[in-house]
Every structure is written in C-alpha cells, then in structure tokens.
A and B are shown apart, each in its own frame.
Chain A
Amino acid sequence: MTDPDPGRFRFLATSIAGRSVDVAEARAGEAAHTDGQVIFVSAGGTAARQRSETLVQSALLGAGSLDPRWIKALRARPATARRYLALEGRRVLAELTERYPLAAALSLGGQPRTATARESLDLARSRAEVPEPPGWFGVIRPSRLLAPAAGPGARATDRELRLEFDPLDIPEAEDDGDQQQSGESKILKLFENPLFASQTLMDYFRKLLGGSRGTGDGAAGAEAKVRSIRQAHQVGAHARPLSTRIRFTDDGRPGSAIGVGGAFHPEWDVHNDRYRVDWCRVIDFPLAVAADISAAGVTYDAVLRRRLSRIGLGPTILRGRPDGDEIDTGALIDLFVDVRCGHTPPEHIYLDRRKLARDLGVLILLDASGSATDADSAGLAVHDHQRRAAATLAATLEELGDRVAVYAFRSHGRHSVHLPAIKTFGQRFDALGRARLNQLQPSGYTRLGAGIRGAGEILKTEAGTPHRLLVVLSDGFPYDNGYEGRYAEADVSKALEELHADGVASLCLSIGAATTTDALERVFGSTNFAGAATLTDLSPRMDALFLASLRHLAAPLPVLA
C-alpha cells in the first residue's frame, strides 16, 4: 500500500464528486487543492494521507461547496478561506459518512457547526471562533477554481465570430506556420526538375548540402504565432467554434464532399508530460472525386497472396468431412439411410475444426502528404510506389476474405487532419475505388499521431473482427506545423501505445523511400517496421511481418511503474 500513484483514487474521487475528476500530485511543497477538474494531492504523501485529501476535496466538489457563488467571496481573503474550509470540510465529511464509511473513520468527532454552505460562509466571515482545519484538509484556491468561468461574459454574435483580417494586419509569411518551412535550400530547389529528378541524385545533393527539412519557426509543439490573437487557457462558457466552411477536396476540387464528420483527438505533449486534450481535429470523409476508371489497374502479386492466405484465420467447423475429431451425427444418419436404401455413398461423416474463417480486419493508412514527390529512375515517385503497394495489399486481402479498408491521410495543421476514405470496411474495392486511389494527389503534411488515432477509432468500431491490424504506409518522418522531432516521435509512440492497449496491432511499411526511416523504425519498433524499394521485395516475408505485429500485441506489455 506504499505505492505513491495517486491515480488510484480517481474512481473514489469521481464517485464522491459525482462527475469525472482526476487525481494528480501537486508540485512539491504545495498543499492539496483542486481546480474543479483535477484534485491535486500533496506530493510524496503516504497513501492514507493522499486518500484523506482526495476524500475532502472531492466531497467539497460533490457538495457544491466550491461553486463560484461561494468561492467568489473568498478571493484574496486567505484567512476567510481557511475558516470556510474548516467549517465546510467538517460539514461535507459528516454528510458523507452515510454513504462512505471511510469518511466516518476520518471524521473529527462532534457535530458540524453548520448545515449549509451559506451558513458556513457567513460564519467564516463573522468574528466567531473557528478551529484551524487539519493539514490534510488542504487549501481552497479560489483563483484556480474560478479560472474556467473567467471567459468573456456575453455570447458572441455571428458577426464578431467571423474571422476577418485587415489586409494591413495579415502576418508576414515567415510568421504563418502553415506555410512551407522557410529553411528550404534554394540550391536544392534548382535541381527539383521533372526532367532530371533522379532520386539518387536528389539524395546525393541532400547529403552534400545538408538539406534536411527546415527547423520551422518555433519549438516543436508550439502553436502558430498569429498576430494580435490572445491565447486563453480555458474557453469561456459562450465560446463557439468559428463557422468555417470545411471544404473536403482532393487537392483543389471543391464541393466533392458527401459526408461531414470530425472528431477531436488528444495529442501527447512530451515536453510537459501530459495530453493536450481535444487537440487535433480528425475528419474522415468518403473520397468522392470523379476518377477515370481506365486507370484502375492493380498489380497482382501471387507471392503476397500465397503468403497472406495463411494468416488471420479463425477456427471453423466443417461438416461431412472424410476425417476429423468428432462424428457429424447428421451426416452419419444420412449415410446409414443411404446404405439401407442400397447406395454406397462416400463415408464423409466427421466434423473437422480447421482454421479457415478469416478473422482479420486490416486498415491500410496511406500517407498522402506532399513529402514524397522525388522520382526514381523509372519515373515513379515514392508516392506512386506507396499507392501501388496499398492497392495490391488491399486487393489481395479483400480477395482472401479479410475485412479491409483503405484510408489516405494528410494534415494541414492540427485543425484539419484529413482521412479520406478510399474504401471503407463495408464497401467493395471496386474499379472506381482503385481509380481514385491511383489518382490521389499528394499534398499537405504528416501529423501521424492524429492520423493513427483517427484510423484506430475507425478500426475499433467498424472492423468487427477479433484481430485488427493497422498498416501504415509512410515514407518518412512525421512533420507538421508545430509537430516534429522528439515531440512528434513521442506522440506517435503514445498513439501506438494507446492502439495496442485497445487490442489493435500496428505495422509500418516504408516502400520506395530512400531517405532515412530510422525515426519510423524507432517509433514502431523493429518488429513492426519494414522498408524496401518495392512491395515485391517485401511480399515473401509479409506473413512473418503480419504475424510478428499481431504477436507483439499478444505479448504482455511492460508494466509501467
């Protein structure tokens, strides 16, 4: 019972407070307090101490003692706040003893002097003698409790909500985070020429000139700097989203949207060791561009088919087999009826359990960001390789009877992470879908963590199979506005961790990319990552790769201390 993890009290706190409350350790030296969403218990305290602190603070929340109408009177009056806490703490604890015997054990004895929060407040403001609260009562922090309500008072009008920039006030291009990074090499640009864009040459120049991606304009995880927009930690009660028109397009085709959907996903902030709640907006929508069906060819890969046919199988019962473990009563009776009638049919009377039913659901997440346009000697860009690999994989898996979906993925900052569906789980991978996949235009950036979370959600809700696998086809490192380096890496591994916790395996294939993929390998782990020049190079060991990923999932996760 000496485990210092205060998260263990979260159900207790949630139950007493009557709403979802988390428990965390306060900074060293700080007394226990709450901000309404999280209860901070004293750091390094014993479990019993932290438990008592949780109990008092959540009871105060549950009884409504920390409502703004009471707390406002305590702002900047620490002495009154302490007296109020002493009175209210006793009162709410006494109320709790009925339902939670634990509170009775902590109770200070004697009747509470007040019966309502108003009475406590009045008594606290009076000059009457009030005993000092015990240390484990913690403190009340009116400023933190009132913070969420400190937004602008009135509801904003639609006119005020419209985002309009005075032309004079538009930020400079360097300030605008959504622009392509400015650190791009001018010399490299000279060589980016369709007549001459050999991949080897490009890599050579990259090495020579050190032309890695620019460092962007701030630390990773920073928000874009936009002039004269104030940042608020908490939004006011009347805050409304901007009525921005969302255009779902495949690279400049407005009005191709059919479904509108969007979900917010968190992002892991490694610098602050916490989640950024509802940070990324992930929109999945059916890709509905008109496509030329003649371009719907998919390379057939016999090796891949043979390899993949062996995996993802569940047991199924075959009746009327020539051999097997049990007797099929129905078949046996039919046989005897036939024999008595004078026929001699084959004696197929056994039940056999064979692994034949497909029980694998695969979601192929294709990186459609604009990072992969260098061409190789055959004139095929990295993106073409990936697209073909996705098409071949999807067609093969569908033919084998697995549930498979294909989603492309790109991002333009954290508010628009797009997951265009080329094939959902329910659709057939028909010629139109193939054509759309073939004509997908790369653009945008790679906010991989949000893409994985969005795809994982689709896989979890729509696959409907016991085994689920997310196959990410990507060529390089996650990169987006305020999303790179260590930050991006930590977020992607966190997203994968979440996925594994939910029973979804992951596999990353890097096809056609000659640039460094160390980061992807580091994030996905060596067993869940493979890279090659073309898909055919990987086909002979695709079964091993799939199995390794699925097995990795079955292995016990390291227990976090």
Chain B
Amino acid sequence: MPDRSMIHLDRVTKVYPGTVDPAVEELTMDIQEGEILVLVGPSGCGKSTTLRLINRMIEPSGGHIFFDGEDVTDVDPDKLRRRIGYVIQQIGLFPHQTIGQNIATVPKMLGWDKKRTAERVEELLDTVGLPAAEFRDRYPKELSGGQAQRVGVARALGADPAVMLMDEPFGAIDPITRDRLQNEFLRLQSELKKTIVFVTHDIDEAIKMGDRIAILGERSVIRQIDTPERILAYPVDDFVDDFIGSGSTLKGLNFERVSGLALSSYPTIKVGEAPEKGLRAMDEANREWTLLLDREHKPLRWLRRTDLQRGAGDMTKRGQHIRAEVEPNATLHDTLEEMLNESTGMCCVVDNRGRYQGVVEISDLTEVIRRLRTEAKEHYDALETVS
C-alpha cells in the first residue's frame, strides 16, 4: 500500500454552540489511500462526530479538512458528499423507493443517463451478493436486516466514491449475520481498495476490520493510533489497556501464523522401525517424547521412553493419540486452542498433505508474544526519540 494521504485532518475542532468544552479538540490525523481506519472509543468520546466532520454533516468550528490534497473545508458540502460514500447504523433506506431506485440515488443526482445508472445498479447488487433480477424492484420493507445493510453498502458505493465513511454499519445486526457481513465486506474491500473510515465502539470489530485503529478518548483525542497487532502488543497507556480489555495477548495471537515460527524438532520413528532407534534419537535430542509416523510421514502417536522400552511390537497401540495438529497457515490463536486439547501440551505441524513438519510448544508462543511486545516497544521508543 503506497503511503499516500487520502484524507488529512488538520487541527479540526468542533465546539457546539452554548458549550465550553469542545466535542472534538484539535484533531490531526491522516487516512491513507486504500486503508480501513477504525475510530474506536467509549460512548460519547466524539468518534461519530469526528466521522461526520469529515463529510461536513457537522460543520467544523476550526481547522481544515483535506481531501486528496484539496482543501474541502469551504466547498459546497452537498457536492462534497456526493464524492463520499456514507453508511449509517440505521441504514436509512428510502422506504418509498425500490432497491434499484435507492442505489441509483447518487448517480441520479450526478446526472448519469438511464442506461449507465441501470447498469451500475445491476453491477452493485451483484457485488453485494443480491441477484439484481430478484431484488431490484423490491421495496426495503421486504428485506431482512442483513440484506438491507448490503443494499446500504451498495447505495453508498453508487457513484464509485474513493472514500467511504461507515458509522457502526453492522451495529444493529445479529451476531451471526454481522460476522458474515464483516467477512463479505473485507473480501469486497480487498477488491475495491476504498479509503474507509469506520466507527465502532466494539474493540473486537475494530481489530477485525481495521488496517489501523485509532483509539479515541474524551473530546476525540487520539490515545493511540496504530495497527491492531501493535496496539494489542503494546497499549501505550492505562486508558488504551483498559479499553482493549482482558485477552489482548490472546487476540494478538490471531495476527501471527505458524509459518512465521521456527518449529521445534522432535525425534521420530516410523511404523515398523526398531524401538532402539527411537530411544537413541531421544537420547541424542534429550527429549521425553518421540513421534510415531506412518509410512506417508503422517504423525500417528506421541510415545514416551517407557512405551519404547516395552520392546518391538505394534507401536500404534502405545503412547498417546495425537489430538493437536495444525497446518502452517493456521493462526497462533488456533494453535494454542489445539494445544489446550493435547495432554502433552504440544501441537504437531503438518503440511497440506498431512506430513509431519515440526512441533509448536507453549514456549514458542510465549517467545512470539515477547518478541511482539519488544518490537512494538522499540517502535514506540524510536518514535519518541524522533519527536
């Protein structure tokens, strides 16, 4: 992703008439082209206000807003908004218009001809996974919550804006549908590469959706802005730490994969090989366990020294059945989950054909966690020395 600022807020301030404390105080921030920046914070911190300042649904009391380098603080707000997609929690579909007419709202305002608009509507309905033939002429009341939200997204994409503002778009949807919509949206975004500012109060949603997360405190002051990985590994202060809550280490493991680890190696013997060979290998490697593999190199069982000392015979009945097995693209979160199911506390790594690659131990995970923390800390220390 090229680091090109798509939206730049320069000391943007909002003071509501009749109040002394600003709702948003001198907020300066850059949103890079093609990223999802999530604004997250406790209720009343001004994150929605901040979002609405960007498309000037709320007029800033001070500061400047730049859009792709152009100062848009004083341009006609209605024209500005036609260049920005806007999705809100309540969706706000027009109940008296068909789905097709809803989606055509912005193209119509921009004066597109009928043919181009109709084609665009069809394309967008396909994009969000609603067959145009079936849905174009329906009315919003005939849609489920999930479908309505998809239409809301399609409508926001109407005239193919470079920027989308989303205010808790999945907030009012049941958890199962929400999860599916989030995944669909991330897949969509990987193709569309829009610049997106996304507001939520749910830190888990922020971690899932965000390329970067800005954690906002009161008056919309940025407490920390960074990738989810780094925020989880190194919350800069107690406020951020409290906000991301317990389990941040576990959540952080979602961003690391087995393929990024140096795997531990364990002695192995194959079915039919002499037990003495295994014992020798265990002595050499100084390990308490050895792995029994079948002829295709697939792990079968964990064997202890005593299992081998019982002499030759059918090894497949001895030792312990292997429960934990992951492939290299598994996240460390899933790996840990597998490990907890395994009495040996170790997890076998196999390739996509099930062949033995190595072993992950709990100490490998703690090592990763320590590394992430150190890296994040070094990153922040470096920032501090620069400033």
Please indicate whether A and B come from the same complex rather than being unrelated chains: no
Chain A residues near B (Cβ < 8 Å)? none
